[in-house]
Amino acid sequence: MIEKVLARPSDDQNSNSNKLEKKIASLNSSTADAIGLPAEAYTSEEFLERERRTIFTNSWICVGISADLPDIGDLFPVEVAGMPIVLVRDRLGKIRAFHNICSHRGLQLVAEPCQQQKRIRCPYHSWSYDLDGELKSTPHFGGYWQDIYEGFDHKRKNLQSIECQQWLDLIFINLAGNAPPLRDYLQPIIDRWSAYDLSLLRYGQEIGFEFNANWKLAVENFSESYHLPWIHPQLNNCSRMEDHFSFEVGENHVGQGSKLYRSGEIGDRTLPVFPNLQKTGRETVAEYISVFPNLMLGIHPDYFLALMVNPLSPSRSVERMAFYFVGDTATNSEYEALRQIPVDLWKITNDEDLETIERLQKGRNSPAFGGGCFSPALETTVHQFQRLVAKAIVVNKSENNNEK
């Protein structure tokens, strides 16, 4: 289990944690009365380490998409809050996840995506593993031309596997291995979007970028539409702030949506749409859900969006944005220009957001920032996300103390 290899917090760290918990206790108040997460939640390496031990260890974390590993033997390295992971498509076509370190000396095994490999080989001493993580070869480990020594147990040196499950095209891992089944975790979202035949989704394209801000600011910004008229004037023309609504999805996810989404057009042509949306009144609705902690989803009549954000440091993050379209024909060349319309719109929107998020990060370097406040009408989703962060880091501390 991952908890066994993570260091216990020191007494000084526990003292600081107690002070932090007093600061975030206000998040249990109503949205109108709550004070937001303090600056250190966005600027402190200690706080990020606490998130590694709690949020990014115990939660389902979206780490990639199946399009990253289309063929048997494909290897795809990722990081989760700085922890190296490798995704592998095994001989049966199943996607697996392992800690991306050799069991010999701890070298990072896979540094770049690889295609159709028969084994996972360490470049340091050429130890090799099968695609299911089993150690297969240890050249000269017992001496020259002797690969083993008496008593050496290969099975104890297999790659350390990580719980890995998939929903749609999205790949999730749970480092602690103690999370509820992924389907149960996502069921409130599945139920809310039951009017959409998600089996029709086809991968189109993606964009990726890094930015100089804490990962949580990206999620918070995605979760509210209050900023639309001032930060996104072009988007506000087709998806106005006053046409938006907020909602919670179960206990772990928050969302907001637009009642009057309009598809992009070229002449009288539009992208293919999900069938039968008129029956549920969703033919003009778009919704956006923040899946705790690091996944953001958007569903529209004519496309689906998945954004994954991952911290590189307290003040730097990386994000991927993948676009999916409806039905096989939607990915044909005849729809290329129409597919580009939402992609270009999100590029503009994202550039506007990133400038804002990076300025939010700079503001958290000021000693005058005390956590801020929330609009009880328009920022309940941001408040709830911050409560989920606070709950995750405090509950895990209590569990660790009980283990001592």
Please write the tens of the pLDDT for every residue from 106-115. 999 999 999 9
Range of weakest confidence among 227-231, 281-285, 295-299: 227-231
> How confident is the model at residue 7, as a pLDDT?
43
Which pLDDT tens digit goes with each residue over 143-200?
A: 788 777 777 887 889 999 999 999 999 999 999 999 999 999 999 999 999 999 999 9
> How confident is the model at residue 16, as a pLDDT?
62
Q: Among candidates 329, 343, 7, 110, which has minimal Cα distance to 208?
A: 343
Distance CA 134, CA 128 (A): 9
Instruction: Give yes or no for residue 14 having a pLDDT over 80.
Output: no
pLDDT band at 15 (very low <50, low <70, confident <90, very high): low
**Torsion over CA of 322, 225, 281 and 284, rounded to 10 degrees?**
-60
The mean per-residue pLDDT over the stretch 286-309 comes to 97
Instruction: Give yes or no for residue 264 having a pLDDT over 90.
Output: no
Instruction: Give yes or no for residue 56 having a pLDDT over 80.
Output: yes
Range of weakest confidence among 39-43, 234-238, 260-264: 234-238
For the chain, what is the mean pLDDT?
91
Instruction: Give yes or no for residue 260 having a pLDDT over 50.
Output: yes
**Torsion over CA of 146, 148, 149 and 151, rounded to 10 degrees?**
-160
pLDDT band at 397 (very low <50, low <70, confident <90, very high): low
The H or E element that residue 56 is part of is helix 55-58
Counting residues of the chain whose pLDDT is more than 90, the rounded percentage is: 77
293 prior amide bond cis, ω within 30: yes
pLDDT band at 17 (very low <50, low <70, confident <90, very high): low
**DSSP three-state, residue 286:** strand
Set out the domains of the chain in order of their start, with CATH numbers: 62-165 (2.102.10.10), 188-391 (3.90.380.10)
Could you list the beta-strand ranges (E) of 230-360.
Answer: 244-249, 253-258, 286-291, 295-299, 303-313, 316-326
Residue 63: both structure tokens together: 């780490």
Q: Contact, 32 vs 376, CB < 8 A?
A: yes
